[in-house]
Amino acid sequence: MRLLPTGIEFLFFGMSFVLYYYGLLLMAGVVFGGWIASLMAGKMGEKKEQTWDLMIWLIVGGIVGARLWHVFTPSPSLVVNGIDTRYYLTHPLAMLNTRNGGLGIPGAIIGGVIALYFFTRRNHLPFGTWLDISSFGLALGQAIGRWGNYVNQELYGSPTDLPWKIYIDPAHRISGFLEKEYYHPLFLYESLWNLLNLAVLLALYRFAKRKMKTGDYFLVYLLNYSLGRFLLDFIRLDASMVGGINANQTFMAVVFVVSALVLAFRIKTRLPDHASD
């Protein structure tokens, strides 16, 4: 066994394979996300073991959705090198190579929700309740998984001289910034934002769970996550562009507005009407 800059290499009978830090951190996010989701499942009256059965569905649905999101919203740095949506559609096997490109979080969430829907229908479980349960796991899992971007030297922001700046190797710098050495640790900002999102969800469960209705936790998760992602994309380099528009930022703006409106409507309709007092 030997340590490499990107992973751990193991040798068996003259053959070697590498466990990449990126993959290990993603799996850590899955495990710890599943752990907190199982705890919340028990608190919400569901069976904890169902969480781990669901996890397989979420992983598959999340990966498929995340990869498809990337295929249809490739980053400019890939497009310049000829790897765009048309390339993927004419080279289907390239879609399976997650090391060439990446995974899109919006697609992962969409794919996960679809997988969750079919899982709950098949097992006769309450879809809304499990959406709420999953929101806690999503927040923690994303907070941990984002550190995989650090070891890959990706998901960094614009150049900066702030004390917490990070150094990016020339090989990982994008066109137009080759002479810049230090950048915003965007992955760290998003990781901390996801931890804050989790803290909000836990606080709501601790202090306001009697006022929360089925689906509210997931709406709060969407509201918080989309707001943070929208704001952070202002300093994100190599943002995916579709028709000259930042695809992720625009999508997050829509998610934020819709989530806010739905949550506000749900709160308004459950409040007592004092108009006649």
Q: What percent of the chain has a predicted confidence (pLDDT) above 70?
A: 96
Instruction: Decide if pLDDT at 263 tops 60.
Output: yes
Question: What kind and span of H or E run contains 220?
Answer: helix 216-232
User: What confidence score (pLDDT) does residue 82 get?
Assistant: 85
Instruction: Decide if pLDDT at 101 tops 80.
Output: no
* pLDDT, tens digit (0-9, with 9 covering 90-100), for 119-141: 999 999 999 999 999 999 999 99
Q: Which of 204, 44, 209, 207 is nearest to 134 (CA)?
A: 44
Q: What percent of the chain has a predicted confidence (pLDDT) above 90?
A: 65
Give the per-residue SS3 of 139-176.
Answer: HHHHHHHCHHHHHCCCCCECECCCCCCEECCHHHCCCC
Cα dihedral 238/233/135/115 (nearest 10): -40
CA distance 73 to 70: 5
Contact 240, 246 (CB under 8 A): yes
What are the φ/ψ torsions at residue 116 (nearest 5 degrees)?
-60, -40
Contact 157, 184 (CB under 8 A): yes
Q: The whole model's pTM is what?
A: 0.91
CA distance 84 to 113: 26
Average of per-residue pLDDT across 172-186? 92
Instruction: Decide if pLDDT at 6 tops 90.
Output: no
Q: What is the phi-psi region of residue 155: left when phi exceeds 0, alpha when psi lies from -120 to 50, beta otherwise?
A: left
Average of per-residue pLDDT across 187-208? 97
Strands (E) across the chain are located at 2-3, 7-12, 15-20, 166-167, 182-183, 241-242, 245-246
Average of per-residue pLDDT across 240-249? 86
